[in-house]
Chain A
Amino acid sequence: MQTLEQLKAELKALGAEYAKIKDVPPAERAEFGRKINLKKQEILDKIKAAEEAALEQDVTPIDITAPTAPNQPLPVFLPSENGSKHPLMTELDRVVEIYQMMGFDVVEPRQLDDEFHMFDSLNFSKGHPARDGYDTFRTEEGYIPPAHTSTMQHRVLKAYKKNLEQGKNIAVVVPGRVFRNEDVDATHEHTFYQCEGVYVSKDCTLGNMLGILREFFEKYYEQKLDISTQPGYFPFTEPSLEFKIEKPKTLGGKKGEFIEMLGCGMIHPNVLKMAGIDPTVYHGFAWGGGIDRLVMLRYGLKDVRYFESGKLNFLKEF
C-alpha cells in the first residue's frame, strides 16, 4: 500500500501533467482531461481511505471487560427523566395486557412473509382484484412485507389446532408491524401497527365476537361504549363487518359520533379447512385493526409521521 506522502506526491505530479493540456491537439483535449480527472479522483479516494486507516490505526485498544477506562469515572445512566417508551409500544403493551386478561394468547407476526400467507391461505383466489386493495410491497424474490396481521391467521390456526383437539378454544391476538405502499401524509404511513384476533370454538357466535370487541374497547377506554357495525368485504371472513365504537367522551366525542376501529367477521370455512380444522364442527371469528390511530386518538396526535420519526423532541413527551 502506498503511504499518504506517496499519494500526495502523486496528486501533485498529476497537476503538472494537467498543465500539458495546451500541447494536446484540441480534438483530443476532452479525452485527455477526462482521463486526468479520473486518475485524480482515484488518488483522492485512496488518500481518503489512507487517512481513515491512519485514524483507525491511532485508535487505542480498551479493556473490553472493564467497567470504565483508566482515570475516568464509572459510567452512570442518563437521568431517568430523560427516558421514554415509544407511545405505540406502550399502547400495544396495554392492548396485549387487556387481551391477556381476557384469556388471549399472544403471537407476534413476522415482517417478511409470502404470497401464501398474505393471500392464498386467506381464501383470496389467484389473481383476484381484492388482492390489489392491499397495496403490498414485494421483494425481488416475491416475498411480501405483510400488509395486514391476518397473514398470521393460518399459522395461528395450525399451531393452536391442538387446543381444539383437547376440547379447548383457540383465542389468540397478533400485534405487530405491517406495511402498505402508500403515499405518506399526516394520516397515512407506509409502516404501521395492527392487532389481529383469532377465536375458534365449537359454539362461538357473531354475538360473541361483538361481545369480546366491545369488552376490549370498554377496558381500553375505561368507560362504557356504544358499538355499531357495517357490512364489509374480506375474502377470509363470511359474514364480514366493520366495527365502530362511539367516540369516547374523554376524547371529545359527541353523542352518536362513531369511529371505525377494525374489520372483523366469522372466519370463512375455507380458511379453517386450509389449516386442517373441520368447519362443520368448529367455527370462529377474527378481527384486525390499526393501533396507530388508537394511539393518536388517545393522545390527541395530529400527525402519524411522528411515530417513526425518531425525534427526541416528540418521544420525550411520553
Chain B
Amino acid sequence: MKISLNWLKKYVKIDVDNAALEKLIDSRLVEIEEIIDESKKYDNIFVVKVVECEAIPETHLHLCQIDTGAKELTQVVCGAPNVHAGMLAAWVAPGAIVPASVHEDAPFVIGKRKMLNKYDSCGMLAGADELDFTTDHSTIVEIDPEIAKPGDKLADIFELNDVILDIENKSLTHRPDCFGVLGFAREVAGVLGEKFVSEPAIEDADFKKLGVNVADSAICPRYSAVVLKKHGELKKKYLTLQDTMLAKAGMRPVDPIVDATNYLMLLTGQPLHAFDYDKFLAVGGTTEPKVGVRLAKKGEKLTLLDDTEAALVDTDIVITSNDVPVALAGAMGGKSTMIDENTKNVIIESATFSLFNLRKTQMAHGIFSEAITRFTKGQPAYQTLAVALKCAEMLKEGFEISEVIDSGYKKEENVVKITTDEINNLLGTNYILAEIVSTLENVEFKVEVSGNNLTVTAPAWRTDIHIKEDIIEEIGRLNGYDNIAPVLPLHATAEKNKLVSLKSQIRNFFSLAGANELLTYTFVHGDLLQKVGQDIHNSYRLVNSISPDLQYLRQQIVPSLLVKSYENLKAKHSSFALFEMNQVFLRSDGVDEDNVPYANNNLAMVVVDNTENTKYYLAKKYLEELAKKLGIKLTFKAYKPAKEGYETYYESKRSAGVYVDDTLIGVIGEIKFSALSKLKLPRGVAAFEISLDQLVKFATLKKVAGEISEFPTVSRDITITTSDSYETVFKKLEDKLIKRDLVYSIEPTSIYQADEKAIPSLSFHLEFADRTKTLEAAEIQAIMDELEKIA
C-alpha cells in the first residue's frame, strides 16, 4: 500500500522531519517496505500558457508559442490533438527528466530539438502519461486557470513534492482501519502523541429507502448503497489534485465516477462499486432495483468487467438483481451492469463481506485488487452508508440521490476492563495512569477511570480489540517498545537434549575423520525413488510442489547423497565421504501419538574413493569408530529388512545389518550395480544409514577405559588360516584370553589369500598381560599354542 506523506499531512499535524517520522512509523506502527522520494520528480516542470497555436501543414503537429512566465515566448512543437491557444498546459523544460521515466535505468531527458528539420522545439508539452498520472497518451494535460498561472511550478500546484511510503501490507493484516489514509493518519497522530479527532460518520439521510435482501448477515454484515440520478454533466476537463493523489497511490484516474469511488476507498479504507442503474434493472427485469446478496450456486456463471467468465463456486458471494448475479462481491463487478459513457444513473454500493469467503474467492478466481486487499482484512460495518453518501456528495454536480439502500448492522461495542498493573506487569514498564489514558484517547478509545481500573471502549473501527492484551499492545506500541528496558529474567538451569548433543558429537567426529557434512532437500523427485527401487507410494507426496524435482518426501537420506556424489565426482572430486543427519518419513510407518506421520531421525553416509579397495570396509570403519567413541559395540550380520524399502539398493552379498545386541539399527553395504548405473555412479560405492533414534538410546557418556596391568605386556603377532568369518576368529581369540583372565588387546593387521579358492589367513597383533604377575616364557608359549589351535 502506497501512502503519500502530503496527503497524510492534511489530517495530522507533523512537527518532526521526514526521517524522524519514518523512524517513528517504522518502530511504532508498521514496517515501511520502501520510502520513495518524489521531491525531485517534478523539478523543472512548469505551468505554461499556449499563446499561439498553428497547425503545421500536412502533419498532425502544431507549432506553439508558449508563455512560461519569462519575458519572451518559447516555441515548442506539440502533436496532441487537444492543444489549443489559450489553454494552460504542463511544460517539461529542457534538461528536465520526464517523470514517467524517473525510475528507469536511463531516464528520458528532453532537450532542445529541431522538428521536421526546420522547427525549433524547446522542451515539451506533457501528457498525463509522461507525468506518470495515467497511461493515456492521446492528449496533453490541461490545467484549470483558476488554480495556476504561467510560470508556476507544477509540483507546487499539485503537491507533487512528496514522499511516498510503501507499506508492508502483511504487518497490517489485523488492522483494516489502517488501509485508509484517515485511519493511518490517526495512528500517526497516536505515535506522535497527538490527539486525533475523526469527523463523525454521517448516516442520517432523508431519502426514499429501498430494501436489500441479504441472505445471511454472516456473509455480508452490512450492505449499503445510494441510487444516483443524473441531472447534469460531470465535466472532466482539467487535471485535478485528486488525479495526482490517485496516481501517487498507484491507481490510475479513469472517469469521474470510478475516480470518486477509488479516492474514497484510499481515504477511508471502504471499497465502493458503481453499477449502471438502468442496466441493473434490465438484468433483473424490474422497475425498481431488487438488490440481493447471497452465496453463489454451484454451476452459476458470471461474466466479469474484464470479460472473463467466472465459474462461480458455492463460497463466492454474489450481488444479485432480482436474484440474477451481477457482481462477484468484493472482487469484481459484472459486465452486464458496467458503467460506460452512456450511463445515466448509477448505484454506488458500499458494503462489508465475510473476509473468509472473500479470501476463498480471491484464491479461486485469482483476483488481486486494491479493493479485495481491503475486504480480506475485514472492513468494519460502521461507515458503509456514510462513505456512500460522501461519494454522492462528490458527484453532486452531475448526480442527485434518489434512493438509499441500507441493511443496517449489528452494533457491537468492544469493552475491555484492565488495570495499570496488568499493563505494566506484562510490558515491564512503569506507565502512570495519565499516560495510559492519553495514549488511548489520542487514537479515540473511550476510557473511564476508577482508581487504577480502566474501562476501555474501542472505537467502531477497532474490531480487533477484544482482550486485555490488545489494550496492552496499544500502550506498548504507541509509546514505543524501544522505550522498554531489556531485563534478563532469572530461571533454572537447562537439560541437555541427547539427540542434539549426539548429532553435534557425530559431526565433530566425522569432520575430523575427513568426511563432509551435507544438507540435502527433504523433497525428492519420484524418479530418484524409483531408481533406487523404492515404492513411490510409500512416500508422502506434495500436492503443491514447486517442481517435479521436489514432489516426494524422501524415505531415506542415502539416495540424496548418491545424487550429490555423482555431482561431486563430476566436479573432479575423486575421494570423499558425505554424511547427513536428517529426518525421513515413510507412509508405511503410520502416525505417532500426536496423530502426525512418524518421524525417523537418521544418519547416512556415502563413501566414494579412487582406490581399488573394497569400499564397504571404509564405510564400516567410519561407522565402527564412531560407535566406539559413543561407547557402543556394533555387530554386522546378515539381516532381514527392518522395514519395507530399506534394502532395495544395497548389494545383498556385500551388505550387512547393523546391530546393537539384537536390535537392528541400520544397514551398511555397497550399492547395487543397477542403482549405481541409473545414477551414473561408478561401481563400488558404499553407504550406510542408521537410526539416530536408536543410536541415542545406546550411546552413553560412560567410556570404558582400557584396563592396564601393572605387569609387563607381551606383544605377539598371530596368523590364523581358516574359512571362518573374521568375527568368529576374533571372538575365539577373545574367549581364550578372557578365560585366562588376561588384560588384552587384539588388532587386525592383514588378511591374506593366495588366490580366490585358497583359505584366507587372518593376521592379528596381540598384546596381553597378567593381572597378578609377570608372564613367564613358557606360559606365553602355552597361550600362543592354544591360540594357534583355534583355526
Contact = CB atoms under 8 A, between A and B. Distances in A.
Interface residues of A, number: 117
Interface stretch (A2-10, A13-21, A31-39, A223-231): A223-231
Interface string B406-449: 00000000000000000001111100000000000000000000
A267 to B, nearest CB: 9
B282 interface: no
Contacts of A201: 489, 491
A112 B482 contact: no
A189 to B, nearest CB: 10
Interface stretch (A22-30, A52-60, A246-254): A52-60
A140 B514 CA distance: 41
A143 B598 CA distance: 12
Given A83-B510, A130-B173, A206-B481, A68 B613 contact: yes
Interface in A47-77: 52, 55-56, 59-77
Interface in A61-102: 61-86, 88-90, 93, 96, 99-100, 102
Contacts of B521: 191, 308
A161 interface: no
Interface string B490-521: 01111111011001100110111111111111
Nearest to B727: A65
Contact of B751 (A69, A138, A207): A69
A284 to B, nearest CB: 10
Contacts of A40: none
B672 to A, nearest CB: 7
A157 interface: no
Contact of A103 (B27, B491, B571, B594): B491
Given A70-B753, A96-B500, A205-B426, A112 B596 contact: yes
A120 interface: no
A18 to B, nearest CB: 28
A211 B725 CA distance: 62
Contact of A74 (B27, B376, B653, B748): B748
B486 A269 contact: no
Interface stretch (B65-73, B224-232, B270-278, B536-544): B536-544
Contact of B426 (A84, A133, A206): A206
A236 B30 CA distance: 18
A110 interface: yes
A185 interface: no
A85 B579 CA distance: 10
Given A66-B725, A231-B28, A111 B599 contact: yes
A204 interface: yes
Contacts of A184: 546
A104 to B, nearest CB: 5
B491 A168 contact: yes
Contact of A105 (B494, B573, B672): B494
Q: Is the interface of B mostly helix, strand, loop or mixed?
A: mixed
A70 B752 contact: yes
A210 B484 contact: yes
Contact of B522 (A67, A80, A145, A230): A145
B485 A88 contact: no
Contact of A106 (B500, B561, B595): B500
B135 interface: no
Interface stretch (B261-269, B322-330, B352-360, B774-782): B352-360
Interface string A226-245: 01111111010011111000
B577 interface: yes
A296 interface: no
A208 interface: yes
Contacts of B620: 67, 75
Contacts of A227: 482, 486
B750 A74 contact: yes
A89 B568 contact: no
Nearest to B677: A52
Contacts of A112: 540, 553, 583, 585, 596-597, 599
How many of chain B's residues touch chain A, expressed as a range?
35 or more
A78 B514 contact: yes
Given A100-B494, A229-B482, A316-B516, A207 B540 contact: no
A107 B484 contact: no
B726 interface: yes
Contact of B545 (A79, A82, A137, A242): A137
A56 B486 contact: no
Interface string B695-732: 00000000000000000000000000000011110100
B469 A85 contact: no
Interface string A257-269: 0000000001011
A139 B613 contact: no
Interface string A301-318: 000000110111101100
B31 interface: yes
A117 to B, nearest CB: 7
B540 A85 contact: no
Contacts of B497: 105-108
B738 interface: no
B174 A207 contact: no
Contacts of A182: 546
B619 to A, nearest CB: 9
A66 B635 CA distance: 11
A188 B756 CA distance: 56
Contacts of B726: 63, 65-67
Interface in A264-318: 266, 268-269, 283, 307-308, 310-313, 315-316
B651 A59 contact: yes
Given A78-B515, A103-B491, A312 B596 contact: no
B751 A71 contact: yes
A133 to B, nearest CB: 6
A231 B541 contact: no
A103 to B, nearest CB: 5
The 7 closest A-B pairs by CB, nearest first: A207-B428, A205-B428, A78-B514, A65-B727, A310-B564, A239-B473, A70-B753
5 contacts: A62-B616, A85-B517, A106-B497, A111-B522, A269-B469
